[in-house]
């Protein structure tokens, strides 16, 4: 069986919408791509920044980047400065693709 899964480079996702497990979990827009995390920015006047581990990325549907993050977890990632690798290494879960730090799976919207 051939793997027909498509992937996109993280760099191509700057400016795209970011959401959590549901559309209601608004993480803003992708602002920057770090080595182990994605930085999103939410808001115009009072901006919130979220540093979300790449390990939690589930898919990109052509419009939105989806993360395995709940509304309750969102505050764990709100920060003003980058995290250490050790802080986010704890989010690595079994079954995460080995190349998650360079690309993310594309699915249909």
Residue from 6, 3, 2 nearest 108 by CA: 6
CA atoms lying within 13 Å on the CB side of residue 64: 15
pLDDT in tens, 34-91: 888 999 999 877 789 999 998 899 899 999 999 999 999 999 999 998 888 788 778 7
Element (H, E) at 87: helix 85-89
CATH number at residue 102: 2.30.30
Count of CB atoms within 10 A of residue 22's CB? 11
Asked if residues 24 and 11 have their Cβ atoms less than 8 Å apart, the reply is no
Tell me whether residue 79 is in a domain: yes
Q: How many domains, in total, are found in the chain?
A: 1
Q: pTM of the entire structure?
A: 0.82
Domain that holds residue 84: 6-106
Tell me whether residue 63 is in a domain: yes
Tell me whether residue 92 is in a domain: yes
Tell me whether residue 24 is in a domain: yes
């Amino acid at each position: 069986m051939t793997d027909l899964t498509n992937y996109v480079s993280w760099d191509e996702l700057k400016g795209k919408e970011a959401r959590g497990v549901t559309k209601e979990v608004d993480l803003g827009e992708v602002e920057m791509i770090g080595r182990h995390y994605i930085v999103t920015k939410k808001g115009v006047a009072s901006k919130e920044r979220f540093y979300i581990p790449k390990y939690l990325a589930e898919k990109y549907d052509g419009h939105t980047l989806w993360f395995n993050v709940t509304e309750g977890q969102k505050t764990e990632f709100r920060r003003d400065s980058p995290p250490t690798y050790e802080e986010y290494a704890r989010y690595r879960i079994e079954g995460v693709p080995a190349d998650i730090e360079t690309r993310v799976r594309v699915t249909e919207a």
